Amino acid sequence: MTLHRDVDPAVDPDDPARTGAVEPLETAAPAPPRSWDVATVGLPAPLAVVDLDAFDANAEDLVRRANGVPIRVASKSVRCRPLLRRALARPGFSGVMAYSVREASWLVDSGFEDVYVAYPSVDVLALSELALDGLAASQVTVTVDSLDHVRMLAALTRPHGLRVAVDVDSSLRVGPVHIGVRRSPVRSPEDAVAVARAASDAGLSVVGLMFYDAQIAGLPDTSPAVRFVKARSAASLVDRRRAVVRAVRDVADLEFVNGGGTGSVHLTALDPVVTEVAAGSGLYGPTLFDGYDAFSPRPAAAFALAVTRRPGPGFVTVSGGGYIASGPPGWERLPALFGGRDLRMVRREGAGEVQTPLQGKGARDLQIGDRAWFRHAKAGELCERFNALHLVSGTDLVETVPTYRGEGRNFG
Ligand SMILES: Cc1ncc(COP(=O)(O)O)c(C=O)c1O
């Protein structure tokens, strides 16, 4: 990953003025975020950009890592229909992994196909309406992980039924220790067969299985211990996944076996029982995906905040900024300053509700009205803060497109 560094002749050892190298200014393309400043000049901040060159390069890299296995794009990590379409227009991507039944119905209404809602829903109205809508019901698959889900769905959707997939817990267990997320209670082949069989008997079509390995896909390689746990987890998941898939295939006509996420695409795709992988975050390249050994997405999504005041020497304050990512709380969930400016957030304030103070030598170079660029810690959550994304390529503003939020849609 290349991060832009501010060129300050006083401190930059590579600066032509110090090294004597002659740099032809007219051919030196400004690096992000300078180029984004040019592309969005005159637009009011806060504003968010997606760099299409970086987005496309990230998509290409995901396809490379998936090694021929189709990628179902995780919509929660994109939250923008035009960019979902852009990913899906690319060979190697197929189908959407959605996070809400209402979202799935809305996507199908606007032409998306094969939408899998990967989290169980108890939205009674949305599920009943989906079952009554033949076209939508043929394109949408919902998640079950228990007999409770099966009973509820069967009661709501009778006599039409729905397409369902079983979520299989993919965490690592070492004795009593659980490493991974707390989601599905389905773990063994017997568990999965029991849910699949009950679903079929209740008039639901069991078309898929899903294995999301959060402790591999969502964990950066920060230490040898983490690498060890991830490797061990991947090895044990391969065996269990194979056994579950084989057992469920005996009782259901599976169309897909989904696995992985941005952080594990390259591993999951190696398993022949997996028919597709899921990925979304790798398209935007947020900061939580900076620390992986096997890949380095380019920062494609970012936002700019405007300097509105100077509290004192060494400080500037920007408007906005408190866009904290979900997950276990910590500094790594805050937006990160991007662009090499020597600035940091103030520990006692962090990223604020309406304004964010910044401190450091870089404050010297910033005037009121100037911008500072940031990256969000996670991918799609950025779109909950902005109605629009400015799509840029080099120094050009290509198009401005709405986020889900900008289309008046919020799916939780
Ligand atoms: C079920 C499921 N699959 C895949 C993913 C991976 O998504 P991403 O590639 O955006 O990390 C997630 C992320 O949380 C998930 O919940």
Note the pLDDT tens digit of each residue in 203-236.
999 999 999 999 999 999 999 999 999 999 999 9
For residue 196, being part of any structural domain is answered with: yes
Residue range 273-287: mean pLDDT, rounded: 98
Closest atom of ligand 1 to CA, residue 265: 9
- 274 and 392 in a common domain: no
Domain containing 47 equals 16-51+296-407
- 131 and 272 in a common domain: yes
Ligand 1 center from residue 97 Cα (angstroms) = 8
Closest atom of ligand 1 to CA, residue 261: 6
pLDDT exceeds 50 at position 339: yes
- 79 and 223 in a common domain: yes
CA 158 to chain centre: 34
Number of structural domains the chain divides into: 2
Q: Percentage of the chain surpassing pLDDT 70?
A: 93
* Residue range 148-193, pLDDT digits in tens: 999 999 999 999 999 999 999 999 998 898 988 899 999 999 999 9
- 269 and 329 in a common domain: no
pLDDT exceeds 90 at position 29: no
- 211 and 340 in a common domain: no
- 274 and 318 in a common domain: no
- 254 and 343 in a common domain: no
261 lines ligand 1 (CB under 6 A): yes
Contacts of residue 247, Cβ cutoff 8 Å, sequence gap at least 6: 189, 190, 192, 193
Ligand 1 probe mutation, 281, 376, 382, most atoms within 8 A of CB = 281
The confidence score (pLDDT) of residue 284 equals 98
pLDDT exceeds 80 at position 27: no
pLDDT exceeds 80 at position 19: no
217 lines ligand 1 (CB under 6 A): yes
Closest to 162 in 3D by CA, of 218, 121, 212: 121
The DSSP element (H or E) to which 226 belongs, if any, is: helix 224-249
* Residue range 355-400, pLDDT digits in tens: 999 999 999 999 999 999 999 999 999 999 999 999 999 999 999 9
Closest to 43 in 3D by CA, of 387, 284, 403: 387
DSSP string for 307-333: EEE--STTEEEEE----PPSSS-SGGG
| Mean pLDDT, the chain, whole residue set | 92
pLDDT exceeds 60 at position 21: no
